[in-house]
Amino acid sequence: MFYKLFIFVVCIFTTSGSSVQYDKQTQNLRTFPSDFFFGTATSAYQIEGAWNEGGKGWSMWDHLVRTDPDHVSDGTNGDVAANSYHFYKKDVEILKELGVSVYRFSIAWPRILPYGRADYVNPEGVAYYNNLINELLANDITPFVTIYHWDLPQNLNEQGGWLTAEIADWFGDYSRVLFENFGDRVKHWITINEPYIHCSFGYASGSHAPRIKSPGVGFYECGRNIILANAKAWHIYDKEFRATQGGVIGITLDSTMAMPGSNSPDDIQGAADYMSFYLGQYADPIFSATGNYPQRVIDLVAEASRRQGLNESRLVPFTQEEANNNKGTSDFFGLNHYSSTYVYRNSSVTGIYAVPSLNDDLQVGTFPDPNWYKNPAAWVYRYGQGLRKLLGYIKDTYNNPTVYITENGFGTATERNDTDRADYYREYLNGVLDAIDDGVNVKGYCAWSLIDNFEWAVGYSVRFGLYEIDQNDPEKTRKPKYSALVYKEIVRTRSVDPSYNPDLPTDASMNIKSSFLVVLVVAVLNIIW
């Protein structure tokens, strides 16, 4: 009798509450199609660390945090970050733990080409990414590789960076080096991450590297050169590597979903203009039949330029030759999405800015729905149907391309009990299921982000990771948050169960449970003896 009691008690206390829920069969829940993948995403500067190791050159972010360290709000930088350069196997271990089949990561341009150009390839950089790619494949995880995620070599930045047309050739040469070294195993390439954010924050507001403030001129030049660089890399892959390597290559664009603030014609047009500027400015040259900017964008910038006394538009449309070269230069539509907004026409902004800008060209105001949830730590409002509407917009506007959601996530503070992030994932993945029911050709989803990372100008004050990284821990231990357990169950069941509520495995609770178990076992054995 006492023996049976002992076995019963041990079984109870060695079985976590979450495992009972984990094995529960979901009933009457929609499931994702069998060809839909789940993954997570990161970027090189945000997690790798080893900023001056392994033959790596300086990026423009390395330069920024050395010359103006106070620019990052919490005084941190990416010098060490999650130290994934040394701990990449830990990243693969938690990817395996989550059960995802895809890992989207970026390659640091200055780690491969320390001086920016392809005349010298760093063998240590090549070895690092070979090791990471091989480790992923050994664990049945597909690498989705982003060629450029904002860490331009400082040498190239000093030669004009994204404001010079030469960068398309530099980017093409860099891309070729990656195809040559990794294309035998990497079959999914993303050329450039988020042109709008990169150009807006880096070349308009100056909040990101290289901190250029040229909102009405440099902003558009940056975007134009990114589109040309994307086309350059796509054609190189298509002509030189596709036949032998058999992969796909595309671009990732970001977009908020804009909806009219009222039923007035002005607000309806304002929301349409917003989408044309924020998404269409980069999507139309690649995914439309024209290969050029939306005509509405061309017209509004030209009109504003004339109003400002300029003899020509600040936005230079593509030539016919360039437009023909742009068309179709993405095999899929990579989409990053975080939040939505309402838009109203606001002509009162005309002329109030000190310099020309997109805001002056667009002339709209925005506001969120007061019912949308927002964590105080970040800028993201939770509205999952916004993603459904955005996917429907892409379907209707760009002839229903294959869409990969390459980033979607929610920023919080440092706590591991991040139920609001878990709710965000549930709500947005339900929006994806709705979009699939609507006929959208969306084939995959990558949560941003796998681990807490350096969040650019706000450092570590905002965390997007499924796993916590303690910046004071030299081992950079990866600890799952509540959201990681929820996402793991979504991946396992391929469905979104709103009732799934796992126990967070905190160190304290595990220690209490273990101590109690030891005391109980000793007591039972004393009774037996």
Answer yes or no: are the C-beta atoms of 330 and 251 closer than 8 Å: yes
C-alpha torsion angle, residues 514, 517, 522, 527 (rounded to 10): 180
Closest Cα partner for 143 from 281, 240, 247, 280?
247
Say how far apart CA 526 and CA 529 lie, in whole Å: 5
Give the tens place of pLDDT for each residue, 68-110: 999 999 999 999 999 999 999 999 999 999 999 999 999 999 9
Domain boundaries, the chain: 37-522
Give me the sheet containing 364-367, strands edge to edge: 257-260, 340-345, 364-367
Q: Please give the average per-residue pLDDT across 189-218, as a whole number.
A: 98
Q: Is the domain covering 37-522 a CATH 3.40.1280.10 domain?
A: no
Task: Identify which has the larger pLDDT, 509 or 354.
Answer: 354
Show the tokens assigned to 174: 């860099």
Answer yes or no: are the C-beta atoms of 287 and 323 closer than 8 Å: no
Helix or strand or coil: residue 250? strand
Q: What is the mean pLDDT of the chain?
A: 91
Say how far apart CA 190 and CA 183 lie, in whole Å: 13
**In what helix (H) or strand (E) does residue 344 lie, and over which residues does it extend?**
strand 340-345
158 noted as active-site residue: no
Enumerate residues 6+ apart whose C-beta is below 8 A from 63: 154, 157, 209, 210
Say how far apart CA 144 and CA 251 lie, in whole Å: 12
Q: Is the pLDDT at 441 greater than 60, yes or no?
A: yes
For position 504, what pLDDT does the model report?
79
Say how far apart CA 112 and CA 108 lie, in whole Å: 7
**Residue 401 Cα distances to 122, 330, 394, 457, angstroms:** 37, 10, 8, 33
What beta strand segments (E) does 198-277 contain? 248-254, 257-260
**In what helix (H) or strand (E) does residue 188 lie, and over which residues does it extend?**
strand 188-193
Q: Is the pLDDT at 223 greater than 50, yes or no?
A: yes
Q: Is the pLDDT at 119 greater than 60, yes or no?
A: yes
For position 346, what pLDDT does the model report?
85
Closest Cα partner for 252 from 150, 132, 320, 395?
150
Q: Please give the average per-residue pLDDT across 394-415, as a whole number.
A: 96
Show the tokens assigned to 512: 């209490």
Least confident of 333-347, 392-406, 453-467, 514-528: 514-528
Q: Please give the average per-residue pLDDT across 140-144, as a whole number.
A: 98
Say how far apart CA 444 and CA 36 lie, in whole Å: 5
**Complete DSSP assignment for 14-46:** TS-HHHHHHTPPP-S--B--TT-EEEEE--HHH
Give the tens place of pLDDT for each residue, 236-245: 999 999 999 9
For position 152, what pLDDT does the model report?
98
Choice among 48, 407, 455, 468 that is catalytic = 407
Give the tens place of pLDDT for each residue, 9-67: 333 333 333 333 333 344 589 999 999 999 999 999 999 999 999 999 999 999 999 99
Query: Pairing mode, if any, of strands 340-345 and 257-260?
Result: parallel
- Give alpha helix (H) positions in 36-162: 44-47, 60-67, 84-98, 109-112, 123-138, 154-158
Considering the entire predicted model, what is its pTM?
Answer: 0.91
C-alpha torsion angle, residues 296, 252, 154, 126 (rounded to 10): -160
Query: Pairing mode, if any, of strands 364-367 and 340-345?
Result: antiparallel
**In what helix (H) or strand (E) does residue 388 lie, and over which residues does it extend?**
helix 384-397
DSSP 318: P
For position 67, what pLDDT does the model report?
97
For position 182, what pLDDT does the model report?
99
